[in-house]
Amino acid sequence: MNETLNFWPLAGVAVIVLGFILRFNPMLVVAIAAVVTGLAAHFPVETVLASIGTGFIKTRTLPLIILLPLAVIGLLERHGLRRHAQQWIGRFARATAGRLLIGYLFVREITAALGLTSLGGHPQMVRPLLAPMAEGAAVAQHGALPAQARQRLLAFCAATDNIGLFFGEDIFVAFGAIALMHTFLLGVGLEVDPLHIAVWGIPTAISVFVIHSLRLYRLDHYLARHGAVQPEGERASA
């Protein structure tokens, strides 16, 4: 039985792409794209407006949830959170950027495996705390970093959080990806318990931890080669 597919509703995607290219207001672009998609799908105007209104009511508190933590973090940074984090980590003579990130990777994977994915993250952990602490440890060990070495260190901070979260949450049995895999396997006739899928994520998480820890170990050597090494007396007084 041949059915003609209506591709006109995809015009909403074109509206979003065009609106973002022209740098229009994102909320306005999304609203217009929703209207265009609904009309192209031959939905009545009242149905389209009702759907937009229902979505707005359900997510009206979302901006507060997103913006309130950002405002708190911004105030903490303004009052010296990053500087104090750098100074605190710089007091530990044996602390290096690589060792700090290895410890964070371990904690991130363990907490993500327990379903505590919101304990880390770029806006609430990496930018205000992890990156300044790693930079402080590197400066205490090797002196002021060149711009390229500093950007490489910041990139490793962000990557460490991503890797720990991505492979740690695969062990959490209630994670959405595990439910998706379970549903897919059921669709092809394979009965697999979700717990077994989660358990088989453990070897991957362990392998990733070892591999990325080696990369972080090499990061310390990279910083040692490219950092402006201070004299011993200045480093002790830092």
* Model pLDDT for residues 58-75, shown as the tens digit of each residue: 665 555 555 556 666 566
Residue that is written with structure tokens 């895999």 in the block: 181
Residue type at 85 in one-letter notation: A
User: Looking at residue 46, what is its pLDDT?
Assistant: 84
Q: Are residues 191 and 217 in the same domain?
A: yes
Name residues of the chain where pLDDT drops below 70. Answer: 1-5, 56-93, 228-238
pLDDT of residue 232: 45
Is residue 2 assigned to a domain? no
- The answer to whether residues 184 and 128 belong to one domain is yes
| Count of domains observed in the chain | 2
Range of the domain at 162: 68-237
What is the pLDDT at residue 78?
66
Please check whether residue 79 lies inside any domain of the structure: yes
- Who's near 113: CB < 8 A, 6+ residues apart? 168, 169, 171, 172, 205
Give a yes or no: residue 147 inside a domain.
yes
* Residue 3 is assigned to a structural domain of this protein: no
Query: 77 and 158, same structural domain?
Result: yes
- Could you read off the pLDDT of 112-137 as tens digits, one per residue? 998 888 888 888 888 888 888 898 88
> Identity (one letter) of the amino acid at 188?
V
What backbone phi and psi angles, to 5 degrees, belong to 88?
Answer: -65, -45
